[in-house]
Amino acid sequence: MRETEIKVHRDMASTRVWSYGDRVPGPTIEARSGRGLLIEWRNDLPAQHLLPIDHTLCGAGAEMADVRAVVHVHGAKVPPESDGYPEASYPPGRSVVCHYPNRQEAATLWYHDHAMGIERLNQYAGLFGAYLIRDEVEDALDLPSGSYEIPLVLCDRLFTAGGQLNYPTSGVAEAPWVSEVNGDALLVNGKLFPYLDVEPRRYRFRVVNASNSRFYSLSLSGGRSFQQIGTDQGLLPAPVSLTSVTLSPAERTDLTIDFSGAAGESIVLQSQAFQLMQFRVGGSARVKTAGLPVALRPIVKMLESEAVQTRTLTLNEYMDPKTRTMLMLLNASRWHDPVTERPALGTVEIWKFVNLTEDTHPIHLHLVRFQILDRQRFDADGYATMGNMKLIGDPVRPEPSEDGWKDTVQAHPGMITRIIVRFDGYVGRYVWHCHVLEHAANEMMRPFEVVSS
């Protein structure tokens, strides 16, 4: 990890960033399932932070070094000491060796900073990258590979007139925290308005939402369809044909786009009114496209009857009477409150997220993969005032685009979102949190502990 400069756009000045290696996003790490990796993550960042720290936030007190970092591989099943626990951050001049066993199925993972109280700033500065795990099941599908398989890591930023990163502040000097950040420059692989020359054939794109707060609603110009083949944690049972897909912070989608039949055209990847990038389709393909298999990887649906425990967990907003600032909480608890989620290793649980706020929160659990059971609307006002839970209508099944293995789920306002999860892997201390980084920084993050059964 070091400070460096990148060119975001030909017509912009160089931007000072923090990066893994020498670019943003950092190098794409390609791992094989079952083959472990040791990575030494060295912190060579400068002593002064690039962005304004809020010392009133939990874990970012003035007694802490301003610059600290710790790496988390999002979606990886790793022992707790290599998972990047937020409080395990370390200052410049130090390095830590982490062990990634990669004992899990092929998936689009990513790595990013997780330092307590400043991870939103460290990631905004540029500390993130893609991490792909491959396996034989994926190999056998003969999906587009090599130069026909491309990670697209999305993030949004605000820039100063001089082309430097601009992280917004509340205006209160001693408490600059803001509840979310939405940049007006949407970057793909660290570039503003890039284009990609493609051949008229099928490509595979591994899309990662690495934004702090922004949700993307991805589509192609002309209402062109694409095929989703995977979710956060791996391949879907079968390709799903879509014209748009919504990605909350930290979610991934694995898609293919067939450019055959579009020779000579320009196709734009967009999110709402924003243009992200352009595909310039050339006249001929060097290698003909193989068709997309009709079946990808079977997924066995987890049964509610397997669950040994159901936890009801609220997502709350809370006004701190002392500081008069808004906090976001999980189950009305703060980071330092005692651990309340202690699943036994190997057991299955249902977690119900009762969203009492007005926002969608992308909820992420470390260590595990899960399936979304359903979402159920309820009377949030009645619940808030009278405490009685009145359900409205019928539960809704997950969208086809999220009906596979997940590690991050969109918990919508006024809804109860249910997931089912087996706590496989390792015993020890992990975290679960909202992946809007500004929320996570202000108490919307909690430890959980896998205990031996």
Residues in contact with ligand C2O by CB under 6 A are 72, 74, 112, 114, 250, 364, 366, 431, 433, 435
Interaction partner, residue 369 (Cu ion, ligand C2O, none; CB < 5-8 Å by kind): none
Cβ atoms of 54 and 61 within 8 Å: the answer is no
CB 208, min distance to ligand C2O, A: 10
**Is 112 a residue that touches Cu ion (CB under 5 A)?**
no
CB 420, min distance to ligand C2O, A: 20
Q: Closest CB to ligand C2O among 192 and 431? A: 431
Q: What are phi and psi of 350, to 5 degrees?
A: -105, 130
| DSSP-assigned letters across all residues of 48-104 | S-SS---TTSTT--TTS-S--B-EEEET----GGGS--GGG-B-TT-EEEEEE---S
Q: Which stretch binds Cu ion (CB under 5 A): 247-255, 259-267, 278-286, 437-445?
A: 437-445
**AA identity, residue 435:** H
**Is 267 a residue that touches Cu ion (CB under 5 A)?**
no
Q: Closest CB to ligand C2O among 236 and 367? A: 367
| DSSP-assigned letters across all residues of 176-197 | ---S----SEEEETTEES-EEE
CA 8 distance to own-chain centroid: 22
Q: Closest CB to ligand C2O among 364 and 418? A: 364
**Is 436 a residue that touches Cu ion (CB under 5 A)?**
yes
In 10 A of CB 324, how many CB atoms?
8
Interaction partner, residue 204 (Cu ion, ligand C2O, none; CB < 5-8 Å by kind): none
Phi/psi-derived region of residue 335, left when phi > 0, alpha when psi is between -120 and 50, beta in every other case: alpha
**Is 361 a residue that touches Cu ion (CB under 5 A)?**
yes
Q: Closest CB to Cu ion among 120 and 297? A: 120
Interaction partner, residue 72 (ligand C2O, Cu ion, none; CB < 5-8 Å by kind): ligand C2O
Which of 114, 252, 366, 439: binder of Cu ion (CB under 5 A)? 439
Q: Closest CB to ligand C2O among 43 and 212? A: 212
Interaction partner, residue 68 (ligand C2O, Cu ion, none; CB < 5-8 Å by kind): none
Residue 42 CA to residue 88 CA, distance in Å, equals 14
Which pair of structure tokens corresponds to residue 79?
């022992």
Lookup result for tokens 């190098």: 27
Shortest-Cβ-distance residue relative to ligand C2O: 74
CA dihedral 432, 435, 440, 443 (to 10 degrees): -50
Phi/psi-derived region of residue 174, left when phi > 0, alpha when psi is between -120 and 50, beta in every other case: alpha
Q: Is the dihedral of CA 312, 210, 74, 278 positive or negative?
A: positive
Interaction partner, residue 434 (ligand C2O, Cu ion, none; CB < 5-8 Å by kind): Cu ion
Label residue 15 exposed, middle or buried (CB < 10 Å: 0-12, 13-18, 19+). Answer: buried
CB 166, min distance to ligand C2O, A: 23
**Is 441 a residue that touches Cu ion (CB under 5 A)?**
no
Residue 271 CA to residue 322 CA, distance in Å, equals 40
Which pair of structure tokens corresponds to residue 215?
């949700």
CB 319, min distance to Cu ion, A: 16
CB 382, min distance to ligand C2O, A: 33
CB 278, min distance to Cu ion, A: 32
SS (H, E, C) 351-391: EEEEECCCCCEEEEECCCCEEEEEEEEECHHHHHHHCCCCE
Q: Closest CB to Cu ion among 206 and 439? A: 439
Q: Closest CB to Cu ion among 31 and 434? A: 434
Cβ atoms of 233 and 404 within 8 Å: the answer is yes
Interaction partner, residue 252 (ligand C2O, Cu ion, none; CB < 5-8 Å by kind): none
CB 255, min distance to ligand C2O, A: 20
CB 33, min distance to ligand C2O, A: 20
Interaction partner, residue 292 (Cu ion, ligand C2O, none; CB < 5-8 Å by kind): none
Interaction partner, residue 431 (Cu ion, ligand C2O, none; CB < 5-8 Å by kind): ligand C2O
Q: Closest CB to ligand C2O among 204 and 433? A: 433
Residues of this chain that bind Cu ion (CB under 5 A): 361, 434, 436, 439
